[in-house]
Amino acid sequence: MNVTCHFIMQDWDAMIPGLLDHQYDAIMAAMEISDEAREKIAFSEPYARMPSAFVTARKSQMKDLSPAGLAGKAIGVVAGGAHQAYVEDVYGKSDIHTFPTLEDAILDLAESRVDVVMGDKDEVTDFLDKNKEGQCCRMVADVPRDPAYFGEGIGVGLRKQDKELKSMFNKALTDIKADGTFAQIRAKYFKFEIN
């Protein structure tokens, strides 16, 4: 964007009020684009969408992860979140097991108490890469992205009246995706696509 930026630390609960009070001009803090937030502020185009992934035991030969392919199979998900809502609606013929944490679900997968686990790809990757218990399992596929369950993604939060600034952010995001800059930045933090 060729502008000088100043970074301001802000408590999460004060993020939107601070923007509306002109304490800063944009929120870049992994804020999910949501209808609730849109009542107060505008957003740029999404710059990140965290994919979800299926995990199976390393020895599993499971290939068909469609609702028909997992009918009668046990799916583990974290209780109370988007993944639970998604599997209950889309994988209704599966046996759904809920867990307090993704780690608990993967540990049950290691003990063959569930056939597959679904979770956010960043959390899955982190657990499989950093925990000895993660050696039991492997990520096998991304979950098809459905904004109705997983949201639109993460965007830059802006005041509704700042239409020119929104256009500047959208153009900058388009440009860095087109010239490969976004992919270079993403590769520092994630081994997989996030957009």
The string of pLDDT tens digits covering residues 147-184 is 999 989 999 999 999 999 999 999 999 999 999 999 99
Judged by average pLDDT, the poorest of 36-45, 67-76, 91-100, 144-153 is 144-153
Q: Which residues does 187 contact at the CB level (< 8 Å), separation at least 6?
A: none
Q: Rounded to whole angstroms, how far apart are CA atoms 147 and 193?
A: 17
Question: Is the sign of the CA dihedral 181, 182, 186, 192 positive or negative?
Answer: negative
Please, what's the b/e burial string for 37-51 (b: 16 or more CB within 10 A of its CB; e: otherwise)?
Answer: beeebbbbbbbbbbb
Residue 133 is predicted with a pLDDT of 81
Share of the chain above pLDDT 70, in %: 100
Q: Rounded to whole angstroms, how far apart are CA atoms 137 and 54?
A: 10
Domains recognised in the chain with CATH numbers: 12-48+152-189 (3.40.190.10), 52-149 (3.40.190.10)
Residue 135 is predicted with a pLDDT of 87
Judged by average pLDDT, the poorest of 5-14, 47-56, 131-140, 174-183 is 131-140
- Reduced to 3 states (helix: H, G, I; strand: E, B; else coil), residue 123 is helix
Residue 131 is predicted with a pLDDT of 84
pLDDT tens profile 18-68: 999 999 999 999 999 988 999 999 999 999 998 999 999 999 989 999 999
Please, what is the average pLDDT of the chain?
A: 94
Q: Rounded to whole angstroms, how far apart are CA atoms 144 and 153?
A: 14
In the block, tokens 């803090």 appear at 29
By residue count, the chain amounts to: 195
Q: Does 195 score more than 80 pLDDT?
A: no
Q: Does 132 score more than 90 pLDDT?
A: no
Q: Rounded to whole angstroms, how far apart are CA atoms 195 and 193?
A: 6
